[in-house]
């Protein structure tokens, strides 16, 4: 009966309330601070915070408090707190705490949206809600509060709950450490952390993420001239700033294989993660998930190696370029400088700060031709490797997934980064962690045509309600 009550309430609220509110959220171009340094003046992040705060505050949740905290010079943080519900039926202490996490800032627009779609244009097609941020990670606040509301409606006890919705995750959670320090006494020592910012390999079950890669980012800038000069006059004497950048990248990466060359960027793959990758790859080969052009193929062929390559091996991507004009207005000019934005993914257990220092030293030492080489705005975020699930939690996850989806949960390593998890792992080493999400095949977070698969998000909300109950009665 409790499962039926939870299912019916969550289904109704998702259809009648959350989906329309997510339409409003998608319309807000609340890109993260790294992409909009004038975010305060533009007001988009504040609009998104107020939209979500207002929705949360209207929920029928016993003892709920909702507030927005804004430390000086930092993006705001939405904090929802709920006291233990029916603690007389629980087996844990009344102050035992569960922390639920999501974020509301977004990646920038990106090009390539198909006709009829756009980053700030919500479009519902079948079960898919298109638009930037719905799945990454706008739904998280709604799912968290609705799961709590549904559990209470069904009369199920839960522990003390704190929901944190941050606004700088897509910038590496640069503002979050300050808030965690400021809220340390209020957070206490959570015994369970639920994060809704990850993905899934299909829409048929609850997927849990067992590892996340770390990341180093920064801008490699090469200056060789004070101003651009005629390429016919200077080429052959003045080296191209782009070629110098290529030479520097060759110190970091083997261009034939994509292997990163610095030992500090590598870490051994634990045997249990290697076995998990083999088990998952046998049923869900990851190489087929990506929109390759006809005739293109992955860097590695074996399905297990593909999963390990995207979860436990370092990799370099060039995600932005400056100093290069568009082709249609490019003259025959030897450009004075080239800037490349480097995104380096790191194994979960790699020391991200040490990797940042090593990368900067590698790229800037002994610059070719005496060029001015800088590594600007360098930043690092830790990876994370999940502790083993306690027996009660594994049972709770399988039971919740079976109730909501009809199938038990499965686990996999994720190739992205959630710096929050590394921070929380250090702060609360005894806590259990569940990282899950709705970013399934084709959902294309950060890219064009991003979408939220609404049935998956709805069923995942049901899972949260059951897991909260299981935690309180473990």
pLDDT band (50, 70, 90) for residue 421: confident
pLDDT at 204 over 90: yes
CB 219 within 8 A of CB 343: no
Give me the domains of the chain, ranges plus CATH numbers.
2-212+383-472 (3.40.630.10), 214-285+304-381 (3.30.70.360)
pLDDT band (50, 70, 90) for residue 426: confident
Q: According to the model, what pLDDT value does residue 26 have?
A: 98
Q: According to the model, what pLDDT value does residue 420 have?
A: 76
pLDDT at 465 over 90: yes
* pLDDT tens per residue across span 58-77: 999 999 999 999 999 999 99
pLDDT band (50, 70, 90) for residue 320: very high
Q: According to the model, what pLDDT value does residue 148 have?
A: 98
Q: Is 218 helix (H, G, I), strand (E, B) or coil?
A: strand
Q: According to the model, what pLDDT value does residue 176 have?
A: 94
- Tell me what the pLDDT averaged over the chain comes to: 95
320: tokens are 């932005």
pLDDT band (50, 70, 90) for residue 166: very high
Q: According to the model, what pLDDT value does residue 156 have?
A: 97
Prediction pTM value:
0.86
pLDDT at 135 over 90: yes
Q: According to the model, what pLDDT value does residue 418 have?
A: 84
* pLDDT tens per residue across span 105-114: 999 999 999 9
pLDDT at 158 over 90: yes
pLDDT band (50, 70, 90) for residue 94: confident
187: tokens are 């957070």
* pLDDT tens per residue across span 337-377: 999 999 999 999 999 999 999 999 999 999 999 999 999 99
What's the average model confidence in pLDDT over 387-413?
96
Cα distance between residue 281 and residue 289, in whole Å = 12
pLDDT band (50, 70, 90) for residue 424: confident
137: tokens are 């990670």
pLDDT at 288 over 80: no
* pLDDT tens per residue across span 9-67: 999 999 999 999 999 999 999 999 999 999 999 999 999 999 999 999 999 999 999 99
Q: According to the model, what pLDDT value does residue 140 have?
A: 98
Q: According to the model, what pLDDT value does residue 282 have?
A: 83
State how far the alpha carbon of 224 is from the alpha carbons of 128, 244, 344, in Å: 48, 9, 25
Q: According to the model, what pLDDT value does residue 247 have?
A: 98
pLDDT band (50, 70, 90) for residue 100: very high
Give 150's contacts (C-beta < 8 A, 6+ positions apart).
5, 6, 9, 10, 461, 462, 465
Exposed/middle/buried for residue 400 (C-beta within 10 Å: 0-12, 13-18, 19+): buried
pLDDT band (50, 70, 90) for residue 95: confident
Q: What φ, ψ does residue 128 adopt, rounded to 5°?
A: -105, 130
State how far the alpha carbon of 48 is from the alpha carbons of 120, 306, 361, in Å: 13, 37, 39
Q: According to the model, what pLDDT value does residue 437 have?
A: 96
CB 456 within 8 A of CB 199: no
């Amino acid at each position: 009966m409790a499962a039926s009550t939870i299912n019916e309430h969550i289904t109704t609220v998702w259809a009648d309330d959350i989906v329309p509110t997510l339409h409003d959220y998608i319309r807000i171009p609340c890109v993260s601070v790294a992409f909009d340094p004038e975010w305060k003046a533009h007001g988009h992040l504040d609009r998104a915070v107020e939209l979500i705060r207002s929705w949360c505050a209207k929920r029928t949740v016993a003892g709920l408090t909702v507030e927005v905290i804004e430390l000086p010079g930092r993006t705001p943080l939405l904090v929802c707190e709920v006291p233990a519900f029916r603690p007389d039926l629980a087996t844990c202490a009344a102050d035992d705490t569960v922390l639920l996490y999501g974020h509301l800032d977004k990646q920038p627009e990106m090009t390539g949206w198909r006709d009829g779609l756009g980053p700030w244009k919500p479009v519902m097609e079948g079960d898919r809600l298109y638009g930037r941020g719905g799945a990454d990670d706008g739904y998280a606040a709604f799912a968290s509060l609705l799961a709590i509301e549904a559990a209470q409606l069904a009369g199920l006890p839960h522990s003390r709950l704190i929901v944190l919705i941050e606004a700088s995750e897509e910038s590496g959670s640069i503002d979050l450490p300050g808030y965690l320090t400021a809220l340390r006494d209020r957070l206490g020592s959570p015994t369970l952390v639920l994060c809704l910012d990850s993905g899934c390999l299909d829409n048929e079950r609850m997927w849990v993420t067992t590892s996340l890669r770390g990341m180093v980012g920064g801008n490699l800038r090469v200056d060789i001239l004070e101003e651009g000069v005629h390429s016919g006059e200077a080429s052959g004497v003045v080296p191209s700033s782009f070629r110098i950048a290529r030479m520097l990248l060759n110190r970091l990466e083997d261009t034939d294989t994509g292997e990163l060359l610095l030992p500090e960027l590598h870490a051994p793959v634990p045997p249990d993660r290697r076995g998990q990758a083999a088990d998952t790859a046998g049923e869900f080969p990851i190489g087929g998930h990506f929109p390759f052009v006809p005739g293109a193929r992955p860097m590695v062929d074996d399905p297990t190696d593909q999963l390990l390559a995207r979860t436990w091996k370092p990799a370099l991507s060039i995600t932005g370029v400056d100093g290069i004009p568009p082709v249609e207005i490019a003259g025959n000019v030897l450009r004075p400088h080239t800037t490349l934005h480097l995104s380096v993914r790191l194994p979960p257990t790699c020391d991200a700060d040490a990797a940042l220092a090593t990368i900067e030293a590698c790229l800037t030492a002994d610059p070719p031709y005496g060029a001015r080489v800088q590594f600007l705005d360098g930043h690092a975020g830790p990876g994370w490797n999940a502790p083993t699930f306690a027996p009660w939690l594994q049972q709770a996850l399988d039971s919740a997934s079976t109730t909501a989806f009809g199938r038990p949960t499965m686990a996999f390593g994720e190739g992205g980064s959630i710096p929050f998890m590394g921070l929380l792992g250090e702060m609360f080493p005894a806590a259990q962690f569940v990282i899950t999400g709705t970013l399934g095949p084709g959902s294309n977070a950060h890219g064009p045509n991003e979408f939220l698969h609404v049935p998956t998000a709805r069923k995942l909300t049901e899972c949260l309600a059951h897991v909260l109950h299981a935690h309180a009665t473990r």
